[in-house]
Chain A
Amino acid sequence: MAFDWSAIPGSLPILWQGMLVTLQITLVGVLVGILVGTLLALFRLSPNRLLSWLSAAYVTVFRSIPLVMVLFWFHLILIPLLAGLLFPGQRLELRFITALAAFSLFEASYYAEIIRAGILSVTKGQFNAGLALGMNRRQVMRLVVLPQALRRMVPLLLTQAIILFQDSTLVYVINLDDFFRKAYNVGNTVGTLNELILFAGAVYLVICTLASGCVRQLHRRLTVLPVK
């Protein structure tokens, strides 16, 4: 079987556009995911039973549903419904927004558990030391516990970001042109689908391997840094 890579150089600009979509989904998913995940973790650990229960329910539901289905439901039901309520009668291009929302809220449930574990890894003694100095609970959480927890979690958070980067290929189910789908489309049009998919796979492989290496380095640095 002979390979024909000739279509790739000319289609790099198109592929780059797809990569931008992939990177945007990853970036927004990680940032919003960590933000919402932190809130969920704080709710989960709060003495308020209702908040704690709501957070637990959110995390359980999202972690029990395959990401593909979350994408589908957001695409078919939730986002069109919201758009219909907010902008009635307008036809809007919603697929990109849908992907951002679905990934952010889905990832939040995973980040919530990572962050909760990180918070719990900070000892009660540290919490008490903050309280004993006259700080209120919020200040202790923000100034003493979270900075330590987040520092310990950085490698895990980044590993989760790499997983998200790979999972973003799933947006093909809602016809959104990310890097993978652009490659697929080019291959389909030109007639060298195998080559384009191999190429796309190689790109994911290189990026993820490099990123994992960076995380390992970072992890080594952070563990050398005084923790306790």
Chain B
Amino acid sequence: MISIRNVSKWYGEFQALKKCSTEVDKGEVVVICGPSGSGKSTLIKCVNGLELFQEGEIWVDGISVADRKTDLPKLRSRVGMVFQHFELFPHLSILDNITLAQSRVLGRSKKQAVEKAVQLLEMVGLAEQRPKFPAQLSGGQQQRVAIARALAMDPIAMLFDEPTSALDPEMINEVLDVMVNLAQSGMTMLVVTHEMGFAKRVADRVIFMDRGEVVEDRPKQIFFENPETDRARQFLSKILTH
């Protein structure tokens, strides 16, 4: 479904990504972890072309992201993305946040879009909030709306960029619950997160990145029980001891 091959990216002199490669098959859940500044977020943003890269290839459902002829908006409309800071549109109601792209990008009728939005809001437990504005919701609620907004496009895969990092601790689980359900429903997911509990529950594979490199890319059991590199071992011991 998603194929990342030897991707390198530079910001001027600084190399942010070094020959990163991995595959995400249909229905697979892959977690990317690693210290801050390791390039995880940059890599995931390359997948839907929000970041450009200078070398390598990324294919999504057989379409090349780097190909200049690729219709990037169309590709992005088929890949959902959830951001660290939610990025709901503050000037639109919760309902309008979810219907905007459905009608403007997919050309759905108002009725279809609203139906879809309400159905997804019910799924994330926020149907009553539909007339409110984003600022009236808690962080956890906003992130669940953001997930619903992405799902409303009927994506073939979902990208999560540190979806719980900006949340107060007591709100993390309500978002993770939604993500776990989504994973169990068979959604293809690429998730940048430090939530190793989430990885242990639903990930098929875990990728560990450090200094722009994919250092480990293993089935989760092997990764947690027997990481190959010292860097991964150190990272795990730091975030799992608490």
Residues of chain A whose beta carbon lies under 8 Å from any beta carbon of chain B: 125-126, 128-136, 139, 143-144, 147-148, 151, 226-228
Of the residues A125, A131, A132, A148, contact of B91 by C-beta under 8 Å: A148
Query: Is B135 positioned at the interface, with any CB of A under 8 Å from its CB?
Result: yes
* Residues in chain A near residue B81, CB distance under 8 A: 129, 132
Of the residues B45, B105, B133, contact of A135 by C-beta under 8 Å: B105
Bitwise interface map of B from 120 to 136 toward A, beta carbon under 8 Å scored 1, else 0: 00000000000001111
- In the bound assembly, the distance between CA atoms of A195 and B180 in angstroms comes to 79
Of the residues B48, B77, B135, contact of A226 by C-beta under 8 Å: B135
Whether A134 and B149, one on each chain, are in contact in the complex, defined by CB atoms closer than 8 angstroms, is: no
Whether B50 and A128, one on each chain, are in contact in the complex, defined by CB atoms closer than 8 angstroms, is: yes
Known: A226-B135, A228-B135. A134 touches B74 (CB 8 A): yes
Whether A134 and B89, one on each chain, are in contact in the complex, defined by CB atoms closer than 8 angstroms, is: no
Whether A135 and B83, one on each chain, are in contact in the complex, defined by CB atoms closer than 8 angstroms, is: no
Interface residues of B in 128-148 (CB under 8 A from A): 133-136
* Residues in chain B near residue A132, CB distance under 8 A: 48, 50, 76, 79-81, 83, 150
- In the bound assembly, the distance between CA atoms of A151 and B135 in angstroms comes to 15
Cβ-closest chain A residue relative to B159: A132
Q: Which bracket fits the contact residues of B? A: 20 to 34
* Residues in chain B near residue A128, CB distance under 8 A: 45, 50, 83, 87
Whether A226 and B133, one on each chain, are in contact in the complex, defined by CB atoms closer than 8 angstroms, is: yes
Bitwise interface map of B from 29 to 52 toward A, beta carbon under 8 Å scored 1, else 0: 000000000000000010010100
- In the bound assembly, the distance between CA atoms of A176 and B13 in angstroms comes to 60
Whether B134 and A134, one on each chain, are in contact in the complex, defined by CB atoms closer than 8 angstroms, is: no
Cβ-closest chain A residue relative to B89: A144
- In the bound assembly, the distance between CA atoms of A144 and B92 in angstroms comes to 9
Whether A126 and B89, one on each chain, are in contact in the complex, defined by CB atoms closer than 8 angstroms, is: yes
* Residues in chain A near residue B133, CB distance under 8 A: 226
Cβ-closest chain B residue relative to A228: B90
- Consensus secondary structure, chain A interface: helix
* Residues in chain A near residue B203, CB distance under 8 A: none
Interface residues of B in 63-119 (CB under 8 A from A): 73-74, 76-81, 83, 85, 87-91, 100-101, 104-106
Whether A135 and B104, one on each chain, are in contact in the complex, defined by CB atoms closer than 8 angstroms, is: yes
* Residues in chain B near residue A139, CB distance under 8 A: 104-105
Query: Is B60 positioned at the interface, with any CB of A under 8 Å from its CB?
Result: no
* Residues in chain B near residue A226, CB distance under 8 A: 90, 133-136
Cβ-closest chain A residue relative to B50: A128
Cβ-closest chain A residue relative to B149: A133
* Residues in chain B near residue A143, CB distance under 8 A: 100, 104
* Residues in chain A near residue B105, CB distance under 8 A: 133-135, 139
Query: Is B153 positioned at the interface, with any CB of A under 8 Å from its CB?
Result: yes
- In the bound assembly, the distance between CA atoms of A131 and B77 in angstroms comes to 9
Q: Sort A-B residue pairs by CB-CB distance and give the 8 closest, nearest first.
A: A134-B77, A226-B135, A129-B87, A133-B101, A132-B81, A134-B105, A134-B76, A136-B73
Known: A128-B50, A132-B81, A133-B150. A227 touches B104 (CB 8 A): no
Cβ-closest chain B residue relative to A147: B91
Whether B90 and A227, one on each chain, are in contact in the complex, defined by CB atoms closer than 8 angstroms, is: yes
* Residues in chain A near residue B150, CB distance under 8 A: 132-133
Whether A131 and B73, one on each chain, are in contact in the complex, defined by CB atoms closer than 8 angstroms, is: yes
Known: A132-B150, A133-B76. 9 other contacts (CB 8 A): A132-B81, A133-B100, A133-B101, A133-B105, A134-B153, A139-B104, A143-B100, A148-B90, A151-B91
